[in-house]
A and B are shown apart, each in its own frame.
Chain A
Amino acid sequence: MFQSVEEVQERFREGRYIASRRVATVVFLAARMGRPVLIEGPAGVGKTELAKTLSEVSGRPLIRLQCYEGLDEGKALYEWKYAKQLLYTQLLRERIGELIADAPSLPDAVARIAGQEDAFFSFRFLSPRPLLQAILATEPVVLLVDEIDKAEPEFEAFLLEVLSDFQVSVPELGTVGARHIPFVVLTSNNARELSDGLKRRCLHLFIDFPAPADELAIIRLKVPEVPAELAKAVVNAVQKIRAMDLRKLPSVSESLDWARSLVILNARELDPAIVESTLSMLVKHEKDLERVKGALDKVLAD
């Protein structure tokens, strides 16, 4: 997939994603070693974006599994299309009737129907969910398991099983193995501790808020309309706000939103009035907002 760490960096850059050397190294290693990557870090630093960009630059389709509380195997792996199965049996009632019409005894009739079971338990009536999709895919894919920490530990254990041998057994159909090992990216916000087993399987990548220079580069790349001076001022202010003791620190996605809104408002520089009116793009909690507003002159100082 990639020949060197530099190539990863280069291609991600083309995909409009600034990957630090660390990020690029881990992606490179994961591609080489065929290992899943577990990405941890605060919300909005580009964990999901990394997987999306990866799919883009490698030309592999992205299959996304969004985790949430209550996610179970059925929703993640496969489900039988019960309604369709029922509908078909109704429609085919006559044919079924014909089939067993001349059966001499009840056990015989049952045996004949059992002989046709395959017709109803086939891939035709199976609706594959993300995990099975990734396994059945005819071309290599990127599988994104988003916010794995939101799912229950039981699901995590199940996922671990799937990730360790990339095969799934559907009782009615037998075992299905993956044709290509998907590139798996898991993300976590650390809402709870993940199991050791899962961590052991994965390469671990912690993405923190970017360094000022990187953040500037990201803003210039994603919001090219923003003037250079303004972008610098934005990064400067965001860095200062991050140093404050807030409930929710502004992330890269928030600073991008802020930069965009400043562009829409035609701002040339950060004056207190415009900052105050757009600050809610950056700081999302009422109390935090008050605190930042109180220290606005410090935030805007060079």
Chain B
Amino acid sequence: MTVPSPVSDPTRETQLPTDLVKHEPGWKRLLRRQESVVFGALVVMCATFALWHPVEFATAANVRGMAMDASVLLLIALGMTFVIASAGIDLSVGSVLIFASIISIKAMGVVGSTGVAVALVGVVAGCGAGAAWGLLNGVLIAWLRLPPLLVTLATLGAALGASQLLTGGAELTDVPTDLNSTIGFGTVIGIPYLAITVTVVTVIGGLILAYTRFGRRTYAIGSSHAAARRAGIPTANHLTVVYTLMGGLAGAAGFLSIARFGTTSIGGHTTDALSAVTAVILGGASLFGGTGTVIGTVIGVSIPTVLANGLVIVGVPASWQPIAVAAVLIAAVYADRRRRDKQQRN
């Protein structure tokens, strides 16, 4: 057989029914994205609270507080964006966070009580412990092909149990004090270290998802596992990395939460996974996979944070916050459903 060139042959005639191309202008496409809609909702929310109670809500101190509240959750939600884009879910992140915070404290306790080196050990130990759980999730999901929901439900319990075994159920509080005063609640030109750290990590994560082959392959696997495999993508490897990354980020969140609060919180993270999933879905991702952006997730994390803060300021009992978030979530999911139905009809 001869080998014809697969590339263009200039001698060939080109007949083009170009009238078939329907190209929507970019701004219109942007406006229709769920990120834009949810961003609009966030702006309206902020504006309402800011006009209603400007003295309490629209202050640097309050914004700083909200940024710190959102930071730890954002780190988890960042990982969850990758997981959900790959058509998976990770329910274990709250327990993994607790486990990693315990390992982190114990590791720091071994090397010392102050200084940058100790903090570094804490970071590495926390991220490593988290990544180990993530790796376990990834292997069970990608290589044994078990459903992510069940695997991470199991590791949710296992990591919590392991945490209680390690501590005997008592909280650990021996966090280095200089860690607490810098990363925990220190600021640089008015911006909390915590927020800076998380922002840097989030921007890197966002760039990876949007612009690299890793991101594209994550979307491809989430869109159609079979298609990705047929295209020669090593899907099992890729998913293992995604879940390991998620675990590592949960570990980092564990480190940041002990830096901030100066203690582990064994009972305090039961809803973390669900909050992260909520944020990702609010940000325009679909649980069916193949979609989701980090910008959307940032907005999705901000909405519950602003609601919680604003409702307290205007004097609504804090318990109304989850109810309000629930309403926004249902609205977002309904909007996604409508959009998918419309696509299907096409």
A and B part of one assembly:
no
Which B residues lie at the A interface, using CB under 8 A?
none
Which A residues lie at the B interface, using CB under 8 A?
none
